[in-house]
Amino acid sequence: MGVCTLRIDGTDIAVATGTTVLAAARQAGLRIPTLCQHDGISAVGACRLCVVEIEGHDRPMAACVTQATEGLQIRTNSPRLQEIRRTVVEMLFTEGNHVCAVCIANGDCELQDLAVAVGMDHSRLPYRFPQRSVDLSHPRFGLDHNRCVLCTRCVRVCDEVEGAHVWDVGWRGEHCRIIAGLDQPWGEVESCTHCGKCVQVCPTGALFPQGEP
Ligand code: FES
């Protein structure tokens, strides 16, 4: 296994070939905000919160899907990156219905933590207040589309770890949403093993355990 040396925020670090920039930064003790990334499942570079600046590239790159290579010079926290991250978080909040005060994940929510981390004390974008449904057809869990940020962690963990492939992404544009089975009520999808892995990796309150009746 080869080794490459790169510089992140002024610190030289040597990592194994094939390591992502995100993992290299973590090895250097640096925190880059993430949302769609989750250890143990594939990286898809969907949320763009982990963007970094790489010398020689005009556009910011997603650290979770960019491989560390010899000689890279990387900045993880410039004013430009801070502005991008704040805007991404504002778009996530305004695109759905994230009413923290009545959310099961309040106080244990990665979106909430990100809002704090990027300094989002209000949204500069208008709220869209979309009409979205809640699926309570499963005997143990629920899905609230209002709180889904389409990170696809549930899709990947169900596919790659549990091997059940209950979840997928359906529709397009503003109608894009997570679907169970062939866009069925979750409780009717026979391949669901009731393992709860999707609920565990959900960063918000979109997938949640139901209480005792
Ligand atoms: Fe890298 Fe989402 S964590 S794009």
Q: How far is the CA of 51 from the centre of ligand 1 (A)?
A: 7
Domains within the chain, CATH numbers bracketed: 3-77 (3.10.20.740), 85-209 (3.30.70.20)
Over range 125-145, report the average pLDDT. Answer: 97
Q: What integer is the mean pLDDT of 142-165?
A: 98
> How confident is residue 11, by pLDDT bands cut at 50, 70 and 90?
very high
In sequence order, what are the residues at sequence separation of 6 or more whose Cβ sits closer than 8 angstroms to the Cβ of residue 163? Answer: none
Which residue puts its alpha carbon closest to atom 4 of ligand 1? 45
Across the chain, the runs of DSSP E, i.e. the strands, are 3-8, 11-16, 51-54, 61-62, 73-75, 134-135, 141-144, 167-170, 177-180, 207-209
Task: Quote the pLDDT of residue 211.
Answer: 81
Give the tens place of pLDDT for each residue, 33-60. Answer: 999 999 999 999 999 999 999 999 999 9
pLDDT at 212 (0 to 100): 66
Specify the ligand 1 atom closest to the Cα of 34: 3
- Model's pTM, two decimal places? 0.95
- Average pLDDT value for residue range 146-169: 98
Bridge-based pairing of strands 3-8 and 167-170 is: unpaired
pLDDT at 30 over 80: yes
d(CA 52, CA 120): 19
List, in order, residues 6 or more apart from 109 with CB less than 8 Å away.
100, 103, 203, 204, 205
Average pLDDT, the chain: 96
Tell me, using a 6 A CB cutoff, whether residue 41 lines ligand 1: no
Whether ligand 1 lies within 6 angstroms of the CB of 20 is answered as no
For ligand 1, whether the C-beta of 151 sits within 6 Å is no
Q: Is the confidence at residue 201, as pLDDT, over 90?
A: yes
